[in-house]
Amino acid sequence: MRDDTDFPFLTIDEAAKLLRVNRRTLDNLRWKQTGPPYRRHGGRVLYHRDELLKWSERFRRALYPA
C-alpha cells in the first residue's frame, strides 16, 4: 500500500488544492504554457510537489519594499 504523504507527484486536483487555485486555472496555465512544470505518466498529468512550490515562490511579494 502506498503512503500518499511520501509520494511526490500530485494529480491536477491535488496540485490545485495545494496552490489554492481552481483546477481550471491550472488547466489554463498548462494550455498557455505559463504554469508550473508537469509530466505525463500513463496519460495522466502529474505535478511534482517541490516544483509546484518552487514555481509558486516566484510570485511571492516582499512584505516591505526595499
**What's the whole-number mean pLDDT along residues 27-53?**
96
Tell me what the mean pLDDT of segment 45-64 comes to. 91
Distance of alpha carbon 58 from alpha carbon 39, whole angstroms = 20
Cell of 63: 512584505
Residue type, 34: T
Q: What is the pTM assigned to this prediction? A: 0.80
What mean pLDDT is predicted for residues 16-32? Answer: 97
**Which secondary structure element, helix H or strand E, spans residue 57, and what is its range?**
helix 49-57
Confidence of residue 1 (pLDDT cuts 50, 70, 90): very low
Q: What is the spatial order of strands in the sheet that 44-48 belongs to?
A: 9-10, 44-48, 39-41
Q: What is the pLDDT of residue 61?
A: 81
pLDDT of 5 higher than 70: no
- pLDDT at 65 (0 to 100): 67
